[in-house]
Amino acid sequence: MLVLEYKVKAKPRQYQAIREAIRTTQFIRNKCLIYWMDTCKETKIDRFALNKYSTELRNEYKFVKDLNSMAVQSSAERAWSAISRFYENCLKKVPGKKAKNAVLGSPQEERFFKTGYPRFQHDNRSVEYKTSGWKLHKTKRRITFSDKKGIGELKLLGKWDIHTFFVKSIKRVRLLRRADGYYCQFSIDVDNSNQLEPTGKQIGLDVGLEYFYSDSNGNHVENPRFLRQSQKSIKRSQRRIYKHQKGSNKRHKSRKIYARKHLKVTRQRTEFAKKIALTLVQSNDLVAYEDLIVKNMVKNHCLAKSINDVAWRLFRQWLEYFSYKYGRQAIAVKPHYTSQSCSTCGIKVKKSLSVRTHICKCGCKLQRDTNAAINILEKARGGHPQSNARGVATSTLLGESLVEQVATVNRESPRL
Ligand SMILES: [Zn+2]
């Protein structure tokens, strides 16, 4: 899947119509969640049941009926992907107590106990059409939405060329709202014919506090400084919002400024992540990294680390995306003992965070993170029995509703 994005230009009443369609999507998703909560004890609810339910919603509410039927379907699929993710969490490593609660407690109780329990959405920003309800204009710079939401013809601004692809290969069209306007995204099904020549090289990455990452060849990549700088200015503009009275014009304005600054950082972050991810994938056949558990990291209050976390997650997504695209291997390994074990002899050398050098009796002396990176690479190669490497395919990148399309790929036995 390849995603192309254009900015959209339209009249105010069309933007209004897009907002309305986005609200409807959220309504359907939340309604499906309620339906699941109310009935999942008696009957088995799966994606087909939700699909059927969304058809009922169409008959019940006019504003749902106004939305293209496949777009309604894809809203129901959003609910399903939240639910199935929750089920997966229950099956996987989520502690037993929580899993038990999930079976015994009432839905209301469960919601308190489980972080993975699907939540109602209040801030949905996108609506997704599949293969109907829209039409690309012959001039190739316009798209018309033909359902009864009244969005109509939108002008596409951007330098991508959607028309080098067949219309048939466009699987999804999403309209989304950002702080600086409306965007149209096309998800395109491209075959992976852009395989690169093997390089014969493999690399392991270790994320640390000191550096953005350290690799198994002994190189370190510095933390992007712009993140911390803009973090300051974001904080400032955030405080400014609360100085103005609720509902006032000034407050509305400063909220907008804040949102835009956020968007800027997001873009800088993406650029940074994309660039190094692409370089790594191009110059290595295999990239190994830690499978960090996000939940644990959120608990960490250290600012430097939390900035890193977001950047790192994004970086990982791009890493997985590019390796999928170019037929390379991206392998996430469990981080246990990677920093303690000696990369030469395997003996555990205990050291606190402040110890920056790994020194072992066997004569091995390495920078701490370099040692860890080598261990990570070794694990990914399958050198250790506890290796349980799994890579997540591009799904994370494409957003919630596309999870169904791009299933999790086990990178241990890649089909590419
Ligand atoms: Zn050793």
CA of 374 to the centre of ligand 1 (A): 13
CA of 350 to the centre of ligand 1 (A): 12
37-95: pLDDT as tens digits: 888 677 888 889 999 999 999 999 999 999 999 999 999 999 999 888 888 877 776 54
pTM: 0.59
Q: Which pLDDT band holds residue 253 (cuts at 50, 70, 90)?
A: very high
| Residues 6 or more apart in contact with residue 273 via CB below 8 angstroms | 311, 314, 315, 317, 318
> E strands, 89-241, where?
126-129, 134-136, 142-145, 152-157, 170-178, 181-188, 202-206, 213-215, 220-221
Residue 329 pairs in a beta bridge with 286
Cβ contact 324:191 at 8 Å: no
What's the CATH fold of domain 202-407?
Nucleotidyltransferase; domain 5 (3.30.420)
> Taking 80 as the threshold, does the pLDDT of residue 105 lie above it?
no
CA of 200 to the centre of ligand 1 (A): 26
Type of residue found at 177: R
Q: Which pLDDT band holds residue 404 (cuts at 50, 70, 90)?
A: very low
CA of 280 to the centre of ligand 1 (A): 28
CA of 359 to the centre of ligand 1 (A): 8
* Coil/strand/helix, residue 177: strand
Distance CA 392, CA 411 (A): 8
CA of 263 to the centre of ligand 1 (A): 46
- Cα 213 to its chain centre, rounded Å, is 20
Instruction: Tell me the two tokens of residue 261.
Output: 């600054």
**Long-range contacts at 140-146 (CB < 8 A, ≥ 24 apart):** 143/173, 143/184, 145/68, 145/175, 146/68
Task: Strand 152-157: give its sheet, edge to edge.
Answer: 126-129, 170-178, 181-188, 2-9, 152-157, 142-145, 134-136
Cβ contact 127:25 at 8 Å: yes
> Is the C-alpha dihedral spanning 43, 46, 52, 55 positive or negative?
positive
205-219: pLDDT as tens digits: 998 767 889 999 999
CA of 204 to the centre of ligand 1 (A): 18
CA of 131 to the centre of ligand 1 (A): 58
Q: Which pLDDT band holds residue 307 (cuts at 50, 70, 90)?
A: low
Residue 241 pairs in a beta bridge with none
CA of 372 to the centre of ligand 1 (A): 13
For residue 415, the tally of other CB atoms under 10 A from its CB is: 7
Distance CA 367, CA 308 (A): 20
CA of 357 to the centre of ligand 1 (A): 13
Which residue would you say has higher pLDDT here, 125 or 158? 125
CA of 348 to the centre of ligand 1 (A): 8
Q: Where in the chain is the domain with CATH 3.30.420?
A: 202-407
**Percent of all residues in the chain with a pLDDT value above 70, rounded to a whole number:** 77
Q: What letter would DSSP give residue 346? A: -
